[in-house]
Structure 1
Amino acid sequence: MKRNLFLSLLMFAAMAVSAKDIRKVTVTTTPQMHCEACENKIKNNLRFEKGVKMIATDIEKQTVVITYDADKTTVEKLIKGFEKFGYKARVPEGKHAVPAAEGNSCH
């Protein structure tokens, strides 16, 4: 019985230590995305940035939503990552990085 309790506590502690700070940020790009090739260029290059978990693009809204591990990278580093493949990115006025659970309304 004590052994099971000890193992349960140990598993709980391991889960607490491995909790990640997953966030989402919405950016716009220059040049703007106008086709599927633009979307693919952004997704295929940005996925190599450290801490990036998911990338969602929206041509109609001209946005890129990046889900990332805030323990591994920052919004500033992600924005600099766009420059590596010829784009500039910025966070639109009124938008900021939010915990991923709060950002579920982003597309």
Structure 2
Amino acid sequence: MVSASTLKHKLIHTGEKPFKCTVPDCDKSFRSTSEVKKHVLIQHTTERPYKCDVCGKGFIRMFLLRSHAKIHSGEKPFVCHICGKAFPKLYSMQRHKNLIHRFVTH
């Protein structure tokens, strides 16, 4: 018998996404039910109790508001070790490295 975690891991390699979004008219699919729940919470929930004091944008989680606040404060704690460019969010710096420095090996 194969474990559930092994089956879930195999989906990463096959690209199969057997779990559909539960919201009508949304055609998104995912590898797990937990990914479906996260998607529904982020994309289909209108309640956003954490509001930015500067621009009024709402968030479903406090950590997302804190991350967003760096845009207004100018804080850029994530620095590209290749060129020195700084970013407010880790994923922005990682995206930069993948796009701009993809052929650099350091």
TM-score bucket of the superposed structures, by smaller chain? under 0.3
Of Structure 1 and Structure 2, the greater helix share is in 2
Of Structure 1 and Structure 2, the greater strand share is in 1
TM-score under structure 1 normalisation? 0.24
- Specify the structure having the higher radius of gyration (Cα): 2
TM-score under structure 2 normalisation? 0.24
